[in-house]
A and B are shown apart, each in its own frame.
Chain A
Amino acid sequence: MTKDFGDLRAVDSLTMDLPQGGVTGFVGPNGAGKSTTIRMLLGLIEPTSGEGEVLGHSIQHPSGYLHQVGALIEAPAFYPSLTGEENLRVFAALGGFDRSRIAEMLEVVGLEDRGGDKYKNYSLGMKQRLGIALALLPDPDLLVLDEPTNGLDPQGIVEIRNLLMELGASGKTVFVSSHLLAEIQVACDSIVMIDHGGVVFGGTMVDLLNRNSPTIRAAAEKEADTIRLIELATNAGYHTTRVNGAIEIDAPSIWAADLNRLAWQAGITLRELQATSADLEQAFFAMTGNNKTGAE
């Protein structure tokens, strides 16, 4: 899909497949095209070119699938003078959703005691929770959440993360964008990473992390064996770095077993052997080409 706003190309020939079921993260720098992509998937804006399918239906005909979709798009938007519960009633009536789920969803997001308060008196975190309650209201097969943890306190972030993981494990498809890369890494099975309107990675989280500079940290029991350990790694074609009496080898985690075997054959006893995948933050910066000061 491609989307132009005047001269600005917000999304540039973006192609991605999302697995059915589980939690898929959607990350990218500010202005990468995440929200525009989500809006196209939800039928809110029309692609300039290209096409897409959601739950087997063309995005040209969102009526075919949106009744199976729950969404939170950027900052939650509700009617300030209505209570949280009344706001959900407005959308329940419009979507033909079961009204009896309103109380249940308020409880799920921790607003059971505040559903009668006016929305304008909600904190940012409470507004966000209400937005998630609305997204859950239709009992959707696909949940699209744009920055769902904005404004939440640490406990709220953990609650929402656990909720998303539960939903994903139950067979629902959750597509979530967030700036909290650590949360995405923990919660998501798959990830789509975009930059400048195009996909730079799409696949499982394990694949992403393995692709991006996985390291093996190893230390010989005897300091004198460290040089020989470096030789073993170098002979196998891997770059090593000496760090505080140990070495870090730029090698996939699977090579740790080979290293262990080679060290044993060479008469070296290892006191430390740890395969460390790159974390999502490192992968993000590596793949988007941003440095930490320039990235979100």
Chain B
Amino acid sequence: MRAFRSEWVKLSRRNTLIGFGGAMVGFSLLFTILAFVNVGGGDVDLEGGSAEEFVTAAVLSLPEGSVFAITNVAGFLGIIALALFASNLAGEFNKGTIRMLFVTEPNRLKVLAGKFAALASFVALGVAATLVVSVGAGALLAPGVGVETSAWWTPDGLAAIGSTYLNLTAAALVPALIAGTIAVLTRSASIAISVGAAWFILGEMLIGSFIDSLSVWGPAAITNALAVGGVGGAGMMGGAPPTIAYATAGLVALGYAVISMAICSTVFVKRDVTS
């Protein structure tokens, strides 16, 4: 708990709130505005088709229409979370502050657990803020573009908001944990962010064209499946819908989390601190 509070002293500073939290909220707000302003129009062309194929007033009027926009930026939220984890963890080694952390709290597992919990809570709060802003902006813009929002506030609509929150948070934490692990191993934020972002944005897709099974267990595929609720979801950014069941994606994500924590714990506890 002390490590958690200590970490939040850093996370609550203005630069972090604006840099990471602001980016999450800002980009989601931008995409929400674009989605609503261009509903039924032809200005947004995300997949080479017309906007009508991607977002329509009918889709946005569904109970889950309130979270349509934010669900489509789940990948972006994951990249921000990835950068947050990587820069925070690698930064401790680069700046040499890790030695002062370990002298102040010699139980290194507590330091690691507190750090991960604080970073994860930051991401969770960021997703919550993003969701509130996105849904709020959608509600304000809806009447002007012929979107009926009454279904949003029905039990089904509220359940969609709740499940989307959980899904987006889980989806953001998968790349974050993996990048955090790379950061702990390499002690380099730039390596962790570049490798992590490259994999999640493009790498897995390219490699997946040679290795079919990646679409079943690859971290980007898992993130996609978690974000949109598994098979039957639309696929982020209008991309390919996931082929993984939600429960399967959750289990695989849990496996990634366990492996990441095991690696980080081992490195934290066993590695000599010479920086």
Q: Which residues of A contact B (CB under 8 A)?
A: 5, 39, 42-46, 62-63, 66, 69, 71, 73-75, 77-82, 86, 89-91, 93-96, 134
Contacts and interface: CB of A to CB of B under 8 A. Distances in A.
Given A63-B107, A94-B5, 6 more contacts: A39-B273, A39-B274, A62-B106, A77-B99, A90-B9, A95-B2
Interface string B96-132: 1101111111110001001000000000000000000
B150 interface: no
Contacts of B96: 74-75, 77
Contacts of A96: 2
4 cross-chain pairs, A with B, having the tightest CB-CB distances, nearest first: A77-B96, A94-B6, A45-B272, A93-B6
B241 to A, nearest CB: 42
Contacts of A39: 99, 272-274
B97 A77 contact: yes
A79 B95 contact: yes
A82 B5 contact: no
A43 B102 contact: yes
A84 B102 CA distance: 19
B10 A63 contact: no
Interface of B: 2-3, 5-6, 9-10, 13, 15, 95-97, 99-107, 111, 114, 272-274
B103 A77 contact: no
Contacts of B111: 94
Contact of A93 (B5, B15, B273): B5
Contacts of B97: 77-79
Contacts of B13: 81-82, 86
Contact of B95 (A78, A86, A94): A78
B99 A73 contact: yes
A63 B2 CA distance: 15
Nearest to A35: B274
A286 to B, nearest CB: 31
B103 A71 contact: yes
Contacts of A94: 2-3, 5-6, 101, 104-105, 111, 114
Given A39-B273, A77-B96, A91-B100, A86 B2 contact: no
Given A73-B99, A93-B9, A44 B2 contact: no
Contact of B104 (A75, A78, A81, A91): A91
Contacts of A78: 95, 97, 100
A69 B9 contact: no
A54 to B, nearest CB: 11
Contacts of A86: 9, 13
A91 B2 CA distance: 9
A254 to B, nearest CB: 44
B6, B13, B95: which has the most chain A beta carbons within 10 Å?
Answer: B6
A191 to B, nearest CB: 24
B104 A80 contact: no
A232 B96 CA distance: 61
Nearest to B95: A77
Nearest to B101: A94
Given A44-B273, A91-B6, A94-B6, A66 B103 contact: yes
A69 B100 CA distance: 12
Contacts of A91: 6, 100-101, 104
Contacts of A69: 103
Contacts of A80: 95
B10 A90 contact: yes
B273 A82 contact: no
A78 B10 CA distance: 11
A134 B273 contact: no
A266 B273 CA distance: 66
B78 to A, nearest CB: 24
Contacts of A79: 10, 95, 97
A203 to B, nearest CB: 28
Nearest to A66: B106
